[in-house]
């Protein structure tokens, strides 16, 4: 979203990285982003990047920057430091060391040294440490951009939204389009009015930074006052024109003190006569008179903040009832971290976009308010169950309660809730929450382990029928969205044998990223849930690296590497079909046009040998990170050796994959063969660390040998 916004503001060479967007352009473009960005937190002007493993390295690198060109000797500065390196583990010490280097250099050249002002310095320097390197930047924003200037410190209701997050909610909800068409804005639980004020700023075409009194660039020696004042004049003119034709904007809240806060903020932002705020219970919500269409948007309480989801469900049900009773033809958007609460609204959402409220992963659920969008309720009285089925229901319910808090805290929406816990019911049950185009839907994937031959087929079929019904009841999944398969060890052509041919894909989310899964056609769905921590580790290791994904399957690790800031990605798999799937996953996350992303439909072993030759001959650069998750067994006429067996062939595979690494590079090797034994003695030239326990997530704790994972480096 931020990348799209910056492109619209004139940024060139816009590139998404982890938690940031980079762009280029002349100085006025940077000023324009500071003034007009509704979504950014800070705008940093990069100055230098250098090795900084130790305090001495940091001091030397900072000293090389011509600070006398940026900071007046009589001026003030502050240093914000984040991150660590191998020899720098305290951010306050790192900030102090960088400050010493700056003032020492300026004093050596001018005889005068600047002083420190932590609140409103002339120049604020941002220092970021990672992977034994330091990045220095000027903070052009000076203070966080969410500090718009219409709220005084501490002036907020309980569990507030930051202003830039509120703007992101509104953009996700489609408010700019609704406002342009003259539609109204209503927040039935407005708190301190952040959504309302940000909505008014958007409707008025007013720059969100127009009210700010302090910027980080005004004391910088490179500041261009003329260019800045031209932008301010333009913004003033646009705001004056926009305020002349404002749509109705109304907020309600049951708390009288929250309404007073809303009114105070609206007045301070210059919208005191535009934003209407009234104390009103949700049960009395009604559409404003004279407004035939618009957007109802709100950030209700959700379980992680103010109570358990079950206690809040009636609130969401009331909201849905009021929307249907009085807002037919309107759009609605609800920002919540709990999908079950969004479902309680009773409307089928049209989309859901993931945003982070601090550390909490939440979603903006969008709705079209109409009787046609009413969700068919899954709840029903469970059919009579056998004693065994009742035991199964109790066990799945217990597992879900145990895992639920962890899943909500970590933002996990696709997880294993049962894995043959009871011998009579030898099935694995995975729960998938739909996202994006499938937001609001819930799916259960039931994989039956092949029963032993002594179990009569009729008994096995009855137990599977019991399990299917129990899963639908306990997990509140529509019967048509419970997918049942028989799982057995795959040999022959592949471990990914087709069992159906429906070609239907469901969109899900994980770690703030989006993926397609196919629940119907293969035993594996396209997203290995047990590898969730491994993928997160890939994202952490990928920053600035050339990344290689071997046996890539649907490219999920490539998506994580791109999100982690990999500068180049090679994705290799024998199957054209899976590579196409990998491309779609990359496109879903905005990496479809990523420079340096390459796809190879080839035998991974053959490609390894060829890529190694290219690196040796200087035709290709080595890799900083390689991820290798081969099948247990595979055979194909396209393969050089015709068959691959991970136990038999892992020594050669690991050795060849590690040969792609640059000095200090890392190979992440994983296998799902539970009987796998790594032959470390045959790989004496490599340093191999077994990290399996750290990579098995809580929902697979009952099966700790679900996979094995190793970090491999050159010895």
Assess whether 488 and 556 both reside in one domain.
no
Task: Provide the pLDDT for residue 601.
Answer: 93
**Which CATH number is 571's domain given?**
3.40.50.150
**Which CATH number is 400's domain given?**
3.30.750.80
CA dihedral 418, 420, 423, 425 (to 10 degrees): 70
Q: What is the DSSP letter of 81?
A: E
Assess whether 290 and 391 both reside in one domain.
no
Rounded CA-CA distance 615/67 in Å is 40
Q: Is residue 236 part of a domain?
A: no
Please count the structural domains in the chain.
Answer: 4
Rounded CA-CA distance 352/440 in Å is 8
pTM metric for this prediction: 0.60
Which of residues 472, 491, 524 is at a domain's end? 524
Assess whether 632 and 698 both reside in one domain.
yes
Copy the structure tokens of residue 539: 């994202």
Assess whether 476 and 455 both reside in one domain.
yes
> What parts of the chain have a pLDDT lower than 50?
304-307, 376-381, 488-498
Which pLDDT tens digit goes with each residue over 72-113? 999 999 999 999 999 999 999 999 999 999 999 999 999 999
Assess whether 589 and 708 both reside in one domain.
yes
Assess whether 172 and 319 both reside in one domain.
yes
Q: Is residue 158 part of a domain?
A: no
Task: Provide the pLDDT for residue 487.
Answer: 54
Assess whether 195 and 313 both reside in one domain.
yes
Secondary structure element (H or E) that encloses residue 406, with its range: helix 387-410
Residues 6+ apart with CB under 8 A from 90: none
Assess whether 461 and 325 both reside in one domain.
no
Which of residues 468, 490, 524 is at a domain's end? 524
User: What is the domain extent for residue 419?
Assistant: 378-524
**Which CATH number is 94's domain given?**
3.30.2130.30
Copy the structure tokens of residue 46: 């990069």
Rounded CA-CA distance 712/10 in Å is 44
Residues 6+ apart with CB under 8 A from 37: 2, 5, 6, 9, 43, 145, 164, 208, 209
Assess whether 495 and 558 both reside in one domain.
no
Q: Is residue 636 part of a domain?
A: yes
Assess whether 481 and 600 both reside in one domain.
no
Task: Provide the pLDDT for residue 377.
Answer: 47
Q: Is residue 237 part of a domain?
A: no
Q: Is residue 57 part of a domain?
A: yes
Start-to-end CA span in the chain (Å): 43
Q: Is residue 211 part of a domain?
A: no
Assess whether 130 and 197 both reside in one domain.
no
Assess whether 16 and 106 both reside in one domain.
yes
User: Which residues are bridge partners to 666 per DSSP?
Assistant: 625
Quickly list DSSP for 689-706: EE-HHHHS-GGGTT-TTS
Q: Is residue 292 part of a domain?
A: yes
Q: Is residue 145 part of a domain?
A: no
Which of residues 341, 373, 405 is at a domain's end? 373
Rounded CA-CA distance 628/644 in Å is 14
């Amino acid at each position: 979203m931020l990348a799209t916004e910056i492109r619209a503001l004139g940024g060139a060479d816009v590139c998404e990285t982890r938690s940031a967007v980079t762009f280029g352009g002349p100085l006025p473009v940077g000023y324009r982003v500071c003034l007009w960005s509704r979504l950014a937190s800070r705008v940093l002007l990069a100055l230098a990047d250098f090795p900084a493993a130790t305090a001495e390295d940091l001091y030397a690198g900072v000293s090389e920057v011509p600070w006398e060109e940026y900071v007046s000797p009589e001026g003030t500065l502050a240093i914000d430091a984040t991150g660590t390196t191998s020899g720098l583990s305290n951010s306050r010490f790192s900030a102090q060391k960088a400050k010493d280097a700056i003032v020492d250099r300026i004093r050596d050249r001018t005889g005068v040294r600047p002083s420190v002002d932590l609140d409103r310095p002339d120049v604020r320097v941002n220092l970021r440490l990672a992977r034994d390197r330091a990045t220095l930047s000027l903070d052009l924003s000076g203070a966080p951009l969410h500090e718009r200037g219409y709220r005084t410190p501490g002036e907020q209701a309980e569990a507030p939204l930051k202003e830039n997050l509120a703007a992101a909610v509104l953009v996700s909800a489609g408010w700019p389009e609704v406002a342009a068409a003259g539609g109204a804005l209503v927040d039935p639980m407005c708190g301190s009015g952040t959504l309302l004020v940000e909505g008014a700023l958007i409707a008025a075409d007013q720059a969100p930074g127009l009210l700010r009194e302090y910027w980080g660039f005004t004391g910088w020696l490179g500041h261009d006052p003329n260019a800045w004042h031209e932008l301010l004049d333009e913004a003033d003119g646009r705001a004056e024109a926009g305020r002349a034709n404002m749509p109705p904007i109304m907020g309600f809240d049951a708390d009288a003190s929250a309404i007073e806060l809303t009114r105070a903020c609206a007045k301070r932002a210059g919208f005191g006569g535009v934003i209407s705020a009234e104390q009103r219970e949700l049960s009395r919500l009604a559409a404003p008179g004279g407004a035939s269409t618009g957007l109802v948007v709100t950030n209700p309480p959700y379980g992680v903040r103010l109570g358990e989801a079950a206690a809040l469900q009636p609130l969401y049900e009331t909201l849905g009832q009021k929307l249907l009773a009085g807002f037919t033809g309107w759009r609605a958007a609800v920002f919540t971290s709990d999908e079950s609460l969004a479902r309680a609204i009773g409307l089928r959402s049209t989309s859901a976009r993931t945003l982070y409220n601090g550390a909490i992963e939440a979603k903006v659920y969008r709705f079209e308010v109409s009787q046609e969008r009413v969700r068919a309720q899954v709840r029903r009285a469970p059919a009579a169950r056998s004693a065994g089925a009742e035991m199964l229901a109790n066990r799945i319910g217990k597992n879900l309660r145990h895992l639920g808090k962890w899943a909500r805290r970590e933002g996990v929406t696709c997880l294993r809730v049962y894995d043959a816990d009871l011998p009579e019911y030898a099935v694995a049950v995975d729960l998938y929450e739909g996202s994006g185009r499938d937001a609001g839907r819930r799916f259960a994937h039931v994989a039956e382990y092949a029963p032993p031959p002594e179990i009569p087929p009729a008994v096995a079929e009855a137990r599977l029928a019991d399990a299917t019904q129990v899963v639908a009841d306990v997990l509140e999944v529509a019967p048509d969205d419970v997918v049942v398969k028989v799982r057995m060890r795959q040999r022959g052509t592949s471990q990914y044998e087709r069992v159906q041919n429906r070609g239907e894909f469901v969109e899900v989310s994980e770690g703030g990223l989006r993926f397609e899964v196919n629940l119907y056609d293969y035993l594996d769905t396209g997203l290995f849930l047990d590898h969730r921590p491994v993928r997160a580790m890939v994202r952490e290791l990928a920053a600035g690296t050339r990344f290689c994904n071997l046996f890539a399957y649907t490219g999920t690790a490539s998506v994580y590497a791109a999100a982690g800031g990999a500068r180049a990605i090679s994705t290799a798999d024998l199957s054209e079909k899976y590579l196409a799937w990998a491309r779609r996953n990359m496109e879903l996350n905005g990496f479809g046009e990523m420079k340096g992303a390459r796809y190879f439909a080839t035998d991974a072993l053959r490609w390894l040998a060829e890529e190694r030759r290219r690196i040796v001959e200087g035709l290709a650069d080595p890799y900083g990170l390689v991820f290798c998750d081969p099948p247990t067994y595979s055979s194909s006429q396209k393969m050089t050796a015709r068959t691959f067996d991970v136990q038999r062939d892992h020594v050669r595979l690991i050795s060849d994959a590690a040969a792609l690494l640059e000095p200090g590079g890392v190979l992440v090797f994983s296998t799902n063969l539970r009987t796998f034994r790594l032959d470390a003695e045959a790989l004496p030239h490599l340093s191999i660390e077994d990290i399996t326990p750290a990579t098995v997530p809580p929902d697979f704790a009952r099966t700790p040998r679900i996979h094995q994972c190793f970090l491999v480096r050159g010895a």
